[in-house]
Amino acid sequence: MRELQIASNRVFSHVIDNDSIFSYQLRVDGYTEFKKLYDISLAENKNMFNTPSSFSEPDAGPGYQYNYQCSNEFKEFVTNLINTELDSQLELKTSWFLHQTNASWIDNPIHMHMTASWVAVLYLDTKEGDAIQFYDAAENMERYEPEFGEILFFPGEALHKPAPNVSAKRLTFNMEFQRPALTQEEIDSIENRFNICKACDRFNSESSVCSECECFIPMKIGYPAESCPIDKW
């Protein structure tokens, strides 16, 4: 995987090999699942799609979101990717498709995933010019244009939003990862790191961001592979 710095956010990128079945099968599954749910919604007047809490109708949100349980083989593949890179034990907790068309598009607000330690987005139908926008703590924006079969991994607290569609439609498969329950030794280590950070002149007590590495400290201290940029831990 490649490690990127996008608007001060730590982002990892991995492109699935062209001969892999994963991305192609998920794209087929994504459109099949969408058509099935959409037809049911029209016939039975049911809302079969998830939308952000601030929106009431499926076509008033950023596309159509619907839950999907991916295969164990793909779940293991993508979980191993991020755990190997971070030297962690993250677990895949939930996954869903996001089907965005120009007709159902609305400008999704800048947001983060507070229910996840890390987020992954696999791009299944995207054209040149389609992008995801990342933001730093001051909401300065930087765009990134993914390619077909590319997975982006980023922390749950990373500020981001999808950029408007360049093409008529876009399909992504989204995943949230969480850490398993911590041992007492791990809890003690995290508390020790946090105490060191809070006593440091680079620590912003209002935002909990380190001015040296620009990381959100409450999240960073929970990963054993992370380290202090000035070697305090």
- Domain 2-178 falls in which CATH fold? Jelly Rolls (2.60.120)
What's the CA gap between 96 and 111, in Å, rounded?
A: 17
Question: pLDDT of the chain along its 233 residues, tens only?
Answer: 999 999 999 999 999 986 688 999 999 999 999 888 888 877 877 667 776 544 555 544 567 888 888 899 999 999 999 999 999 889 999 999 998 887 766 667 788 887 888 999 999 998 899 999 999 988 899 999 999 999 999 999 899 999 888 888 889 999 999 987 777 888 889 899 999 999 999 998 888 889 998 888 887 887 777 899 999 99
Helix/strand number for the chain, H first, E second: 4, 12
Cα torsion through 187, 188, 190, 193, rounded to 10? 170
- Which sequence spans correspond to the domains of the chain? 2-178, 184-220
Distance CA 217, CA 183 (A): 20
